[in-house]
Amino acid sequence: MTATNDKRKIRYAVVGLGWFAQEAALPSFANTENSELVALVSDDPTKNEELSKKYGIHHTYSYEEYENCLASGEIDAVYIALPNHLHCDYTVRAANQAIHVLCEKPMAVTEQECEAMIKAANDNNVKLMIAYRLHLEEANLQAVEVLRSKQIGEPRIFNSVFTQQVEEGNIRLRDVTGGGTLYDIGIYCLNAARYLFQDEPIEVFAVAANNGEQRFSEVEEMASVILRFPNERLATFTCSFGGASVSTYQIVGTQGDLRVNPAYPWQGEIKHYLTINGETQERTFEDHDQLAAEFTYFSDCILEDKDPEPSGTEGLIDVSIIQALYESIETGKPVQIQTSDAYGGKLRHQRPTSDQTIERPPSDEKPDLIHAAAPSGQ
């Protein structure tokens, strides 16, 4: 998918200037042809001042001035990179001002918040996209095609490990802000299982573990999950904030298997290891600017009046399943998911395919972070 309107660029405000916004999002606008960074929103005056100078931005706002930003006439869309518990409020307020919204995942902390975000977007006729960058990334989309083409036979098993060390004091370790392993990194494994199986789980089970360190006093250190899909397929994954940096998944079919390693990075090479009849083929996918692809895609959707594939419904389904997983952790029992009438009856009819692949050259810039620190292992 490429931009077809060369005359107009969608003007963005980036809301929230943490490490990911600074390191991945802000530099990526230079790699887009239809998107322009015009405003910053943060309560940190130093971030606003230094980043606006660096990127030539004339409009900066505090969080209290967010409404002024939305009503300024300077922006068409917001990219929301705030803590999870703020996603709903800032999305609804933008939609109510007829501003399009690209919101980081997880979409929100509860199903009710997700539904409110979808309703606000629909009521105001604005685009709402959840930032599932891997829905545009070649290696993951080619994994989808490997399964769809039956190269490994009938896919039966998905297994994933996504772990990293998160240092004490990081916002991901705070319960009140919507932290926790499942919301933060488990969502990648869950979403991958769904787009690879091209289906929704019908039953889930999860357990959590905690080694007692002070940094894990509010959220689990790690969680292991089992998802039962239709046709008796199983997906399992373990995610952790207390392990070495690992990011991989494997799909086992009746005639072969595909391993992707690393599976979920936002930068760097990704490799496929496809084994059929005992013979393994290795394929390397080059580094690309995934955030530039994301902005390009969303801007195209706005310019061409198309509904984004990673929609609010996609975000809602993941959050709904994560809530069920935490219910399972609390009760120690499996939780049924009634997919026939779940999610307001809006099951996924459109799923990511290789047609959505967008490649942009990687950014050479390694920005110095201002009042922000990347989690260990990134």
H-helix or E-strand spanning residue 204: strand 203-209
Cα radius of gyration (the chain): 20
Segment holding 369, helix H or strand E: none
CATH 3.40.50.720 placement within the chain: 10-133+291-309
**CA 363 to mean position of chain CA atoms:** 20
Distance from chain centroid for Cα 168: 23
> In which residue ranges of the chain is pLDDT below 50?
1-5, 340-345, 377-378
Three-class secondary structure of residue 179 per DSSP:
coil
pTM over cut 0.85: yes
Q: Which of 14, 87, 61 is nearest to 295 (CA)?
A: 14
Report the relative pairing of strands 256-261 and 270-276 from DSSP bridges.
antiparallel
Q: Report residue 36: phi and psi, to 5°.
A: -140, 130
- Residue 7 has a pLDDT of 67
Q: Residue 123 corresponds to which amino acid?
A: D
Domain with CATH 3.30.360.10 in the chain: 138-286+318-336
Residue 339 confidence (pLDDT): 59
225-243 CB burial, b ≥16 within 10 A, e <16: bbbbbeeebbbbbbbbbbb
Joined together, the tokens standing for residue 307 give 């509904």
For 138-286+318-336, give the CATH class: alpha beta
Q: Does domain 10-133+291-309 have CATH number 3.30.420.40?
A: no
How many of the other CB atoms lie within 10 Å of CB of 172? 20
pLDDT at 2: 43
For helices 111-123 and 312-331, angle between their N-to-C axes, nearest 10 degrees: 170
Name the 3-class secondary structure at 170.
coil
pLDDT of 13: 98
259/342 Cα distance (integer angstroms): 31
pLDDT at 360: 83
Q: Euclidean distance between the first and final Cα of the chain, in Å? A: 29
One of 9, 12, 79, 105 is an active-site residue; which one?
105
From the candidates 12, 183, 188, 297, which is the catalytic residue? 188
pLDDT at 91: 98
28 vs 8: CA distance, rounded Å: 18
Rounded Cα distance, 241 and 92, in Å: 31
Six-digit token pair at 325?
């997983």
| Residues 343, 349 contacting (CB under 8 angstroms) | no
Query: Residue 368: what pLDDT?
Result: 79
Q: What are the pLDDT digits (tens) for 10-59? A: 999 999 999 999 999 999 999 999 999 999 999 999 999 999 999 999 99
The CA distance from 316 to 310, in Å, is 10
User: Is 105 tagged catalytic?
Assistant: yes
DSSP conformational letter for 332: T
The dihedrals phi and psi of 45, each to the nearest 5 degrees, come to: -60, -35
> How high is the pLDDT of residue 6?
53
Mean of the per-residue pLDDT values of the chain: 93
| φ, ψ at 201 (rounded to 5°) | -65, 150
Strand partners, 158: 235, 251
Q: Determine whether 188 is an active site residue.
A: yes
Q: How far apart are CA 213 and CA 210, in angstroms?
A: 8
Q: Which residues contact 123 (CB under 8 A, 6 or more apart)?
A: 95
Q: 318 vs 182, 185, 284, CA distance in Å?
A: 10, 12, 29
Written in H, E and C, the secondary structure of 225-273 is EEEEEHHHEEEEEEEECEEEEEEEEEEEECCEEEEEECCCCCCCCEEEE
